Amino acid sequence: MAKLKIRMERRKIDNKILIVANWKMNPETLQEAMVLFKHVAKGVKDIKEVQVVMCPPFVYLNHAKDGPLYRNTKVRPLQIGAQDCFWEYRGAFTGEISPLMLKKLGCEYVILGHSERKNYLKETLDMIEKKIIAALRSSLIPIVCIGEKSRGEQRKKEVESQLRELLGRIEQKDLRKIVLTYEPEWAISSQKGAEPANPEEAERTIFFMREILCDMFGESIAAQIPILYGGSVDHKNIRTFIREGKAQGALVGSASLNAKEFIELVKNAKV
Ligand code: PGA
């Protein structure tokens, strides 16, 4: 495993840090969304070391990518992602959104398997696996959330079984296009009593995830899959998750809804 660790360190330096803004079901109006998007776009435009991916609700995606805002603010394009997609491409699936539609709209990423969808909508690992495959076939990069329900001993078991069930049947050539996020459910800010994982905990789990990936696919692929951290990340703790936690970026919920806070977070991510 020592060799794997050395390669991981090198890769982190060579690659950009990825910061993903997960707006969840916010804000309430298009106008507010446009203001937030515009401020963030301006605030992060000169930070070359960090790639920012904005994931607004579906209804704002079109405005984020091709709307007047995007054309008028002559800034480095932010990348755009969705917060979910369906596993079919077209047809009679009321209320669902096809990964092909997202791709055609200009999305590059899609968050899949978020714990809020597992808990409130009963999304299963089987459903999430189908979504990962459909996203990959639509040339979207899936940001796959992995994490245990509560803090404690069962962490390794839960993380390992999620990884094996979600990635076990993915074709080798597609594995390099996946981004993983270690996001313990108990650390998500909307949970009662939530607190961020400490950086050592995050590092241990991220390293454990890489050991499992190594066992599943070999060292070379295991070292190439970026692993982010998610759960109560803010402008104050982002640096420790990247430096000490060895995360290659972060999935950010509530702190991404305040432009000032989020811009500061992105600045602090370039370690
Ligand atoms: P949080 O959310 O940053 O508000 O904890 C993260 C997430 O749920 O993706």
CA nearest 81: which of 181, 171, 13?
A: 181
Rounded Cα distance between 226 and 206, Å, is: 10
Ligand 1 center to residue 193 CA distance, Å? 14
Ligand 1 center to residue 231 CA distance, Å? 5
At position 270, the amino acid (one-letter code) is K
Q: Which ligand 1 atom is nearest residue 115's CA?
A: 8
Q: What is the DSSP string of 160-188?
A: HHHHHHHHTTS-HHHHTT-EEEE--GGGS
Rounded Cα distance between 252 and 87, Å, is: 25
Nearest CA to ligand 1 atom 6: 253
Rounded Cα distance between 100 and 117, Å, is: 21
pLDDT digits (tens, 9 = 90+) for 112-158: 999 999 999 999 999 999 999 999 999 999 999 999 998 888 999 99
Q: Which ligand 1 atom is nearest residue 256's CA?
A: 3
pLDDT digits (tens, 9 = 90+) for 208-226: 999 999 999 999 999 999 9
pLDDT digits (tens, 9 = 90+) for 37-49: 999 999 998 898 9
Residues catalogued as catalytic: 114, 183
Partnered with residue 142 across adjacent β-strands are: 110
Backbone angles phi, psi at 210, to 5 degrees: -70, -35
Task: Name the residue of 110, 117, 180, 254 whose CB sits within 8 Å of the most ligand 1 atoms, as the mutation to test its pocket.
Answer: 254
* Position 11 confidence tier, pLDDT thresholds 50, 70, 90: very low
Q: How far is CA 57 from CA 24, 34, 219, in A?
A: 6, 12, 36
Ligand 1 center to residue 230 CA distance, Å? 6
Q: Write out residues with Cβ below 6 Å of ligand 1.
A: 22, 183, 188-189, 230-233, 251-255
Ligand 1 center to residue 229 CA distance, Å? 10
Rounded Cα distance between 148 and 170, Å, is: 22
Q: Which ligand 1 atom is nearest residue 116's CA?
A: 8
Backbone angles phi, psi at 254, to 5 degrees: -60, -35
Task: Name the residue of 143, 195, 251 whose CB sits within 8 Å of the most ligand 1 atoms, as the mutation to test its pocket.
Answer: 251
110, containing H or E segment: strand 109-112
Rounded Cα distance between 258 and 264, Å, is: 10
Rounded Cα distance between 26 and 28, Å, is: 6
Q: Which ligand 1 atom is nearest residue 181's CA?
A: 9
pLDDT at residue 10 greater than cutoff 50: no
Nearest CA to ligand 1 atom 2: 253
Decide if 97 contacts 85 (C-beta within 8 A). Answer: yes
Query: Which residues, in sequence order, are CB contacts of 169 under 8 Å at separation 6+?
Result: 129, 133
Q: How far is CA 212 from CA 131, 157, 164, 175, in A?
A: 22, 11, 8, 14
Rounded Cα distance between 23 and 173, Å, is: 31
According to the model, what pLDDT value does residue 63 have? 84
Partnered with residue 141 across adjacent β-strands are: 109
